Amino acid sequence: MPNSVDLNCDMGESFGMYTIGADEQLMPYITSANIACGAHAGDPAVMDRTVRLAKENDVAVGAHPGLPDLAGFGRRMMDVAPEEVYQMVVYQIGALQAFCKVHNVEMQHVKPHGALYNVAAKNRDTADAVARAVHDVNDELVLFGLAGSKLLTAGKQTDLQVASEIFADRTYQADGSLTPRQQPDALIENADDAVRQVERILRTGNVRAVTGEDVTIVADTICVHGDGAQAAVFAGKLRTALQADGIAIKAISSGGFN
């Protein structure tokens, strides 16, 4: 078991009159917040409120850039050239950075969202574009990416600090990728099952794929999604279980790397 681990959650994904996620209930349980930047979700008011909320709860702030697809919540595939990826990631980091400055918060990391995250995990051109955008805005930002992905490789080769991310509430394929959400076994909806998956990963360095294979995986940061019906209960159970195992829950910038 590692000595410490970061616990992150996608946040700030409400928009206008629509509320998505239980941000206020989740904040006490996490150490890093990935805040939507207005493309797949979020708006200026939500970004402002979420950065302030993270600061009040001593939660590290990161940008969560996605494809410009509000209707599809950034989870639909789009044919986007690498240069467009670079530009949209720079733009979105910059938007959140402005709110961080207003609230005197230092941005910790960048984690792509949804389809952008999944494409960057497998497509090197997209991964390079994301990594270059993060580096060019602020080379001290940590790049979060799927464990074993091309995004982490691109980040390292761009001289960024990277954090290998695992998911508590998603299942895995034999190649280490996440099971597509369109498949019925993509999500882990039972909190106890999610805790068992995380504990096994931390104990053995492997995750059991839906097809039965053990896949080697590294966990610097653990994601729990904030838009589930029992998201806060889910996060609370996971944090309690990890602390009972003697694992400290710390943001990457506070020593969450091992």
d(CA 177, CA 225): 17
DSSP SS3 for 156: helix
| Res 226: pLDDT | 76
| Res 231: pLDDT | 84
The vertex-121 CA angle with 51 and 85, nearest 5°, equals 65
| Res 257: pLDDT | 63
Cβ pair 115, 12 in contact under 8 A: no
Q: What is the mean pLDDT of each run of 10 residues along the chain (258 residues)?
A: 93 94 94 98 98 98 97 94 98 98 98 97 98 98 97 98 96 94 90 94 96 95 82 92 95 74
| Res 66: pLDDT | 98
**In the CATH scheme, what is the code of domain 4-254?**
3.20.20.370
| Res 192: pLDDT | 92
Sequence-ordered list of residues with C-beta below 8 angstroms from that of 30, at least 6 positions apart, any chain: 7, 8, 9, 59, 224, 235, 239
